[in-house]
Structure 1
Amino acid sequence: MITLDSASNNNTAMEELEELFIEELMDLLNGIPELTVIFSADESAAELKEYAEALQSDPVGKSRQIVAACRASGQRRADVKQIIVDGNRKFLWQPGGTLRVVQLLRDCETRWSSTYLMSDRLLELYPAVQCFLNHPQQTQIAHLLFTTPQYQLLHDIQTILAVPHAAQELLSAEKTPTLSAALPAFEILLESWIDLQTKLPMLSHYIGVGIVKIQEYAAKGRKTRAYALAMSIVILCGVTFIS
């Protein structure tokens, strides 16, 4: 379960979720051979297999390798920045023509959401990173380029994980009593994930696993005295939650 605090061990949440994706999807393909045989010629089966292979290749881990390679020296960081600047001048980057002139981010063990933030920044700057890795001087690291299925999968994973990340940002807000907002935040999270099950059908089952865990977490939260006390404090302070 993805917890919404800042403990350092929560930094593994997204890696664990990705591992769950891999295990479940590979079981589907390898554990039911009849299904593979029946639909082996079907386009959707081929697409599903590509997804499984992309998961097996560890796109989050590959993101970490790409970031490490692009930040390995001051010269490489400067080169990536210059590619962004030159591309902005020529409006090369799609869809808007320009990219923010910012650095790639490394993940950090003391922040649970840092892996999400690292991958999110990489996806944002990937057109420039792709150009950098394709440069003739970077042949030693060109193999790090994402395949199309890997890139799409990482984008889909980020879409899923953006929801609990937003909830974490809400509940970690400073100077405001946020415990009372926990259950409403969970409800919004659940609604968003249920919607994503339709938009990302290949990951629907795995999103469902997360939904069940959040439902269990919310059910336990409703029974705690701390939550009831937090709601009372909010009411006494004149803070009203509008459903």
Structure 2
Amino acid sequence: MLCCLLSKNGVFFTRHVIECARAASVTWANDVLFIQLGFITLDNASNCNTMMQRLEQLLKALKIDFLVDENRIRCAFITQLQDDLAADPGWDVMDDLANALRSSGQRLDDLSSVIRKGWDDELWTPEEVPDHAVLNDMDVRWSSTFLMIDRILELYPAIEVMAEQDKHEWLRPYLLTAEQLRRLDKIRNFLEIPHSIQEGVSADKTPTLPVALPAYEQLLTVLRVFKSAEPEIAHGVQAAIDKLNEYFQKTRSARVYEIAMIVNPTIKLEWLKKNWSESEVESAKETMITAVSRFLHGVRLSEG
């Protein structure tokens, strides 16, 4: 049973989790409430950590097994956190440029006209400068920083031509220097890495939990290679690697990822054997056995 709750208040959330669990699967064993409680998916906001700690305390008081780390599935919004680590002196200028162009429908229409006239005048082809709208950065949108930078750089030849027109002299203070464009191109290439991996995972038509850990491992590997190839922005890339490592360690503490991989017929233990130590693989096996045993125990209790 899937239960979606918007409140992150610990007491309120706990009450409704128990109500959902009761509706899904409840038995009484020796006058003790027994609930087969699964996992809770949350984003990475700090108040979610506080809420989960409170939830653990209240559930344990009801003799319900629940652990803050092991019963939590973390949202893959970590890829968005890396956008926040890509701050650069040219980024604010680009953000201001995007906002200025998007401040009115007329400005966007004028940019579209410049793009199409450039096709007619053979300044560029539709493939080189397509008639696309400028995007802005949004905290709640996947890869929004990458998408904004990518779009501005794609349309920049037309933006420069537009700024040459007297009616658009307002645009000139927002133009980027050659150095800013060069650095932002490097940042775009950097942000494209997590964006591409996230897009690949999101495009999967099957549950994505089994591929979460492999995807994070792949992302770390590619970022390390990119850092070596781009020393100029290595500091920002390392900040992303550090943040991802921190998140990855927290994610691994939730055994549900191991279970999801093992029960997936296309993965099973193969990825774990290739990427984890022998002791970690054995621990994953024990986790699976324990999970099955607890499930069967719950079934027996429910059947009386």
> In the TM superposition, what are the counterparts of 1:46-125 in structure 2 within 5 Å?
55=88, 57=89, 59-93=90-124, 98-125=128-155
Q: Which residue of 2 aligns with 1:214?
A: 244
User: Percent of counterpart pairs with the same letter?
Assistant: 32
Query: Over alpha carbons, which structure has the higher Rg?
Result: 2
- Paired residue for 1:184, among 214, 237, 255? 214
Q: Is the 8 A contact 2:134 2:152 kept in 1?
A: yes
Separation in 1 of the partners of 2:258 and 2:127?
Answer: 50
Is the aligned partner of 1:151 residue 2:181?
yes
Give the gaps of 5 or more residues in structure 2.
1-42, 45-73, 275-304
Q: Work out whether residues 105 and 117 of structure 1, in 8 Å CA contact, stay in contact via their aligned partners in 2.
A: yes
Greater helix share, structure number: 1
Q: CA offsets, 1:25-80, max 9 Å, x none?
A: xxxxxxxxxxxxxxxxxxxxxxxxxxxxxx3x3x2222222122222223221211
Question: For the residues of structure 1 that align with 2:189 and 2:128, how far apart are their CA atoms?
Answer: 22
TM-score normalised by the chain length of structure 1? 0.70
Residue matched to 1:31? none
1:130 counterpart residue number: 160
Flag structure 1 segments of 5+ consecutive residues without an equivalent.
20-54
2:31 matched to which residue of 1? Answer: none
For the residues of structure 2 that align with 1:10 and 1:192, how far apart are their CA atoms?
14
1:135-171 CA-to-partner distances (Å, cap 9, x unmatched) read: 2222222110001111111111111111111222233
Find the aligned partners of 1:112 and 1:200 in 2 and give their Cα distance. Answer: 24
Q: 1:84–1:128: 8 Å Cα contact kept in structure 2? A: yes
Conserved? CA contact 1:116–1:158, under 8 Å:
yes
Equivalent residues of 2:261, 2:267 under 8 A apart: no
TM-score (norm 2): 0.57
2:200 corresponds to which residue?
170
Q: CA RMSD in A?
A: 3.0
* Higher mean displacement: 140-149 or 192-201: 192-201
- Verify: 1:18 aligned to 2:89, yes or no: no
Residues 210 and 68 from structure 1, CA distance in 2 versus in 1: closer, same or farther, beyond 3 angstroms?
Answer: closer
Following superposition, the deviation at residue 128 of structure 1 comes to 0.7
- Residue in structure 2 matched with residue 233 of structure 1 by the alignment: 263
Question: Which structure carries more strand by proportion?
Answer: 2
